[in-house]
Structure 1
Amino acid sequence: MKNIIKSIGLCFGLGLALQACDDWTIPENEVIQNLEGTPKSEEYYEKLRAYKKTDHQLAFGWFGFWNGGTSTSARGSLRSVPDSVDLVAIWGTEHAFNLTQTKINDMRYVQEKFGTKVLFTIFAHEIPEPFDATPEGIKAYASAMCDTVYKYGYDGLDLDYEPGFGGSGPLVSGPGHMDNMEIFVRKLSERLGPTSGTGKLLVIDGVPYHLNEGLSALFDYGIVQAYSSRGDSDLQGRFNNAYANGWKPEQYIFTENFESLWKTGGTTNYRDKDGNIMNSLQGMARFNPEQGKKAGCGTYHMEYEYAHNPEYKFLRQAIQIMNPANPNN
């Protein structure tokens, strides 16, 4: 992802500056909407929550600028996201930590009403103060991140891990610290992920295949930043790298960069295996690896699509492509 911050401590220090800078780039044609949206019946929400538990392809997004919503606009609220979205990761640790009651209420509403899973994302390269790059320090850092998940009632944790694409630090496998990431992941997996038995999710994005062999089994999902993808052949090549490292197609989510490409639904020259041209998010929704059905697709800075009419129109289209019988849109 863009603008990787080197540590959580630095992110806290720059929180206000980063928020101000981000606000300058938010689409101006803001849609005004009541936080509760269009009233629906309890029967509808029961069916929606039941749908979320079925075997279907997931809709995912990183959500920035989270403020819980205001009295005049739902843009910064998780309740503004289509209720058939399955997973949302809070982008920006200045938004994900030290939650206000407004944010907690907003998160709890979508979790309990919609059945939406809410995670938060950290940059898994550096080890922030007061922790250090020793096995004990790494385990303490992992425990602190798990504590945050449980403290606020998040559904899990997303690790932004991008070796070779701007991510460097003591948690990146390499000479001198080959096993640090494995120590970190294994400690996290005691309380998060499919082997923990807790129901809390452990997710990794960026370069999921850059892990020691066997670690993929400790994650629920790997999310690839297939930004500006040119077509099915590109996505297949990306998954082949992951498959060789033990990832299964049903674990893999493909994503597009909507911080830059929200207006057009991604690139406009995505080519599928039959030569059809479409926007890249639609292509990701239609694509499945040769090895089997994917986990789903999604967008980075999904909230930019709130400026469309209807809001989130491209993500809604992707949901319909993946799951034509889903209960919304």
Structure 2
Amino acid sequence: MKIFKYASLLLSLCAAFTFCACSDMTEIENKPYDHIGGYNTMNNAESEKYYADLRAYKQQAVNYGRPVAFGWYSNWSPAGTYRRGYLTSMPDSMDIVSMWSGAPNRFTITPEQKADKEFVQKVKGTKLLEVTLLSYIGKGRTPQSVYDEVEKQAEKEGWANDLSRVEEAKKKARWKFWGFNGVVGSDNHKEALARFAKALCDSLVANDWDGYDIDWEIGSGVFDMDGTLSTNADLIYLVKEMNKYIGPKSDPEHKGHRLICIDGHFSPLTKALDGYVDYWIDQSYGRMTYFDYYDVDPKTIITTDNFESSFKSGGVLLRQAKSMPTKGYKGGVGAYRFDNDYDNTPNYKWMRQAIQINQQVFKERMGNASHP
């Protein structure tokens, strides 16, 4: 499908702005209005070249060619003239964005979301990830009809007000759907995990998301565990199964694949899943990432700050952007709920500076022969 289609869809949503191209894509965030390229109709040679150069810049990050700009996006609402909720309002050189607001499927996505999503993916080359706080088999993939049947039965038999019984029945119905017999650690349990892994990946592909971000925070007050996906061993097995379809092991010839990322409590996972995860995203909120602490190549580690609380001041994001491991280079820099930075002046003030610094320290590191 030609990129002109996506541009025309966005044109119906917003007014056109003056275009400003930038020939050196490593300096793409030097001007605070670079993102206005997202509003153009791509009806001239200059804008076509700009987006071609932008996509080429994004390709430089493939296989860890350079550090990435990352963020969790929290308020996706691309409708009306106020631009805050549009992905197209992000800095053009955002490489990877995890959809904290949710990743709707092809049946629930709105026309405005579809146009916004496709323009960012197809024209700008930004990768959009589904993200879930995983805690049980079937989360996010169990059909609603499975639970509806339980509620109908409860209503018919008169126990609909017994909430604990309803929840227990829903759990058992979910287990039955995924073929789990209730014995944790059994071969049957692994078979159910494998089915869930395939469903996660199949749906990701069907709905055209560019990867999966696993938020792994077991032990930090996760309240909806049912025992089926509550240990590091469970997640290790699940991720290895997912690599049959997406992730680095699915792409031995490096032709391109949908990403697998893990954020949260990942330090106990790195050794077992080395080579199965594209990026480990450190929730290093308000502090620096200790790259040498993790038993993985630092090129796979993204350091992040918390823009839920520090978007006005910028927190430590710029310091994180400047930081580097003892040897090599980091995977990237980003922020949780980075879309809050839109409200600064200029919009995305801190993220744009972080992107510049992120690439500058990388170029300096690569220019130093003592740091391969």
Give the TM-score taking structure 1 as reference length: 0.74
Q: Give a deviation string over 1:23-63, Cα, whole Å, max 9, x none.
A: xxxxxxxxxx9894367711111111111111221100000
Residues 220 and 251, structure 1, Cα contact 8 Å, conserved in 2: yes
Change (3 A) 1:96 1:297: farther
Q: Which amino acid aligns with 1:220?
A: D
Alignment correspondent of 1:7: none
1:283 corresponding residue in structure 2: 319
Asked if the contact 1:35–1:77 (Cα under 8 Å) also holds between the matched residues in 2, the reply is: no
The 8 Å contact of residues 201 and 245 in structure 2, kept in 1 or not, is answered as: yes
CA contact (8 A) 2:72 2:99 kept: yes
Aligned residues of 1:34 and 1:73 also touching (Cα < 8 A): no
* Residue 312 (structure 1) aligns with: 348
Contact 2:218/2:230, CA 8 A, preserved across alignment: yes
CA contact (8 A) 1:224 1:253 kept: yes
How many residues are paired up?
Answer: 266
Q: CA RMSD in A?
A: 2.4
Asked if 2 retains the 8 angstrom alpha-carbon contact of 1:158 and 1:203, the reply is yes
Find the counterpart in structure 2 of residue 303 from structure 1. Answer: 339
Any stretches of 5+ residues in structure 1 without a counterpart?
1-32, 267-279
The equivalent of 1:242 in structure 2 is 294
Query: Of 37, 40, 63, which residue of structure 1 is paired with 2:39?
Result: 37
In structure 1, what is the equivalent of residue 216 of structure 2?
161
1:63 aligned residue = 73
Which position in structure 1 is the counterpart of 2:358?
Answer: 322
1:99 aligns with 2:109: yes
Work out whether 1:117 is the aligned partner of 2:169. Answer: no
User: C-alpha separation between the residues in 2 aligned to 1:265 and 1:49?
Assistant: 28
CA distance in 2 between partners of 1:92 and 1:201 (Å): 19
Alignment match, 1:207:
265
Matching residue within 262, 265, 278 for 1:220: 278
Per the normalisation by structure 2, the TM-score is 0.66
Query: CA contact under 8 A between 2:79 and 2:112: conserved in structure 1?
Result: no
Give the structure 2 partner of residue 140 of structure 1: 195
**Greater Cα shift, 101-110 or 310-319:** 101-110
SS in 1 for 2:57: helix
Counterpart position of 2:57: 51
Provide the rounded CA distance (Å) in 1 between the counterparts of 2:204 and 2:357.
32
Question: Residue 66 of structure 1 contacts residue 77 of structure 1 at CA under 8 Å; is this kept in 2?
Answer: yes
- What's 1:11 paired with? none
**Structure 1 residue 164: deviation in Å?**
3.7
Q: CA contact under 8 A between 1:163 and 1:210: conserved in structure 2?
A: no
Q: Distance in 2 between matches of 1:184 and 1:34?
A: 40
1:249-291 Cα offsets, whole Å, 9 max, x none, are 000000011011100001xxxxxxxxxxxxx101110001114
Percent identity, aligned pairs only, is 34
Identify if the C-alpha distance between structure 1 residues 34 and 46 changes in structure 2 by more than 3 Å, giving closer, same or farther.
Answer: closer
Instruction: Note if contact 2:73-2:337 (Cα within 8 Å) is conserved in structure 1.
Output: yes
- Kept in 1: contact 2:292–2:326 (CA 8 A): no
Verify: 1:88 aligned to 2:97, yes or no.
yes
CA deviations 1:188-221 (Å, max 9, x no partner) are: 1111111112511111111222227331210110
What SS does the corresponding residue of 1:293 show, helix, strand or coil? coil
Q: Greater CA radius of gyration, 1 or 2?
A: 2
Alpha carbons 1:202, 1:220 under 8 Å: kept: yes
Paired residue type of 1:37: Y
Q: CA 1:44–1:70 in structure 2 vs 1: closer, same or farther (change >3 Å)?
A: same
Cα distance change of structure 1 residues 38 and 310 upon mapping to structure 2, 3 Å threshold: farther
Which has the larger helix fraction?
2
Q: One-letter code of the match for 2:127?
A: K
Letter aligned with residue 261 of structure 1: S
Query: What CA distance in whole angstroms lies between the structure 2 residues aligned with 1:63 and 1:211?
Result: 25
Q: Which amino acid aligns with 2:238?
A: F
